Amino acid sequence: MLVLGIVGSPRREEGISAEMVEATLSGAQEAGAETATVYLADYDLTPCRHCGYGCFAEGHCTQDEEASIALREVVEAADALVLASPVYVWQPAGLTALFMEKLRLGSGPWNRPERNGRRALGIAVAGGTGTGVFAALQAIYAWLCVWKFEPEMPLPVARFSRVAAARQATKAGAELAKPAESPLRGVADLMAAYDAISMLRYGRQDEFRWLAGAAAEGLASRGDMQASAAVTTLLAQAERFLGEGHRADAMQAILHAYQQGMRAWMASE
């Protein structure tokens, strides 16, 4: 059993994306799997030129032939995949986007009958404001769905949740090292599995509510109970507004909670 970690950050092993991949692979190793890591910064990938559909016919990008073949081979050799990317302007980093554009798998995309059968975990790291983490995850999981990977629960990472996320990553790695309990039988199962993941439907309100909650938990873990309670109070106010049907007022309270959490967190760094 080989679990492959792919780091989509230009900082290679220096960034939080690599930290999360390392934590995931550590969990996989403890569960008895072999692991390997790929840094996309080591591959010469260029933007798609829309040269036609030779990539699907040949099984690799005909413009970046060497890099795309090498990446396809290393991914094809793995039994499970971890793909981690930093979030830039509410999207996966450019290196990750290029990888997703260029990779072609032998099992083909969603509309071909061959099964992929391998499991995958997507990780998005928004280490600055935290915003855009779910938009990035949604892009990563759209790509995983196209190539018929069986999805593990996405892992969003913000500066407030870094420690807790590393623990989650280790647990996710241990799960990746196990055979799937109920392998997806076809495209209908595949689509249903992805649509069942609530994070992949998150909008802006859901995201800022999650970020504010993560800030409250992070502040509490640092012992700043007063700041944590203030954020939690604002989130409770937002829930009351939502119950009364006042979505704009709820959004304002959620934004206030997020901003207050950010200020308190930054003051303690």
- Residue ranges of the domains in the chain? 2-201, 204-268
Phi and psi for 81 in degrees, rounded to 5? Answer: -130, 140
Residue 18 scores a pLDDT above 90:
yes
Q: Is 130 helix (H, G, I), strand (E, B) or coil?
A: coil
Pick the closest to residue 27 from 155, 214, 217 (CA basis): 155
Residue 165's identity, in one-letter code, is A
Residue 110 scores a pLDDT above 80:
yes
Residue 39 scores a pLDDT above 80:
yes
Q: Does domain 2-201 have CATH number 3.40.50.720?
A: no
**Which pLDDT band holds residue 133 (cuts at 50, 70, 90)?**
very high
At 220-262, the pLDDT tens digits run 999 999 999 999 999 999 999 999 999 999 999 999 999 999 9
At 210-221, the pLDDT tens digits run 999 999 999 999
Strands 80-88 and 91-92: antiparallel
DSSP 161-189: GHHHHHHHHHHHHHHHTSPPSS---SHHH
**Residues 100 and 137 sit within 8 Å (Cβ to Cβ):** no
What's the pLDDT score for residue 76?
Answer: 92
